Amino acid sequence: MSIRIESGSITVADVGATVEITTDLTLTGKNIDILLIKPSGATLLTDTTVSATVATYTTASGDIDESGEYWAMLKNVTDGYWFSGKVRIPVNPDPRDMAKAK
């Protein structure tokens, strides 16, 4: 699997950031979810949209709430199949948090 982040990078609290994960299997007509594993180990399972071999996930409010390395895996909800492999999604800290005095 490979990944492309539309904006080039994701920052904590981003809403509407697009992540495209490309597989070597046809996804059209299938219900594909993405499992996000956050840096803390917490997980989020959410829907994607699919076209040909690409699953697209768009971040929503509250999804990206930690900085660091997220890992993503795809699940075919239609038949329960978990795609082998996972992809790394780096998430930058929110610049507003970095500017706060400590």
Confidence of residue 95 (pLDDT cuts 50, 70, 90): confident
The total domain count for the chain is: 1
pLDDT at 99 > cutoff 80: no
Give the pLDDT confidence score for residue 90 in this predicted structure: 92
Give the pLDDT confidence score for residue 93 in this predicted structure: 93
What residue numbers bound the domain in which 66 lies? 2-98
Is residue 69 within 8 Å of residue 88, measured between CB atoms?
yes
The verdict on pTM exceeding 0.95 is no
Over its C-alpha atoms, the chain yields an Rg (Å, rounded) of 14
**Which backbone phi and psi does 49 adopt, to 5 degrees?**
-105, 150
| Domain CATH number, residue 60 | 2.60.40.1220
Which positions ≥6 away from 6 have C-beta within 8 Å?
17, 18, 19, 20
Give the pLDDT confidence score for residue 4 in this predicted structure: 63
Is residue 67 within 8 Å of residue 22, measured between CB atoms?
no
Q: Over the stretch 58-78, which tens digit does the pLDDT of each residue have? A: 999 999 999 999 999 999 998
Which positions ≥6 away from 100 have C-beta within 8 Å?
none
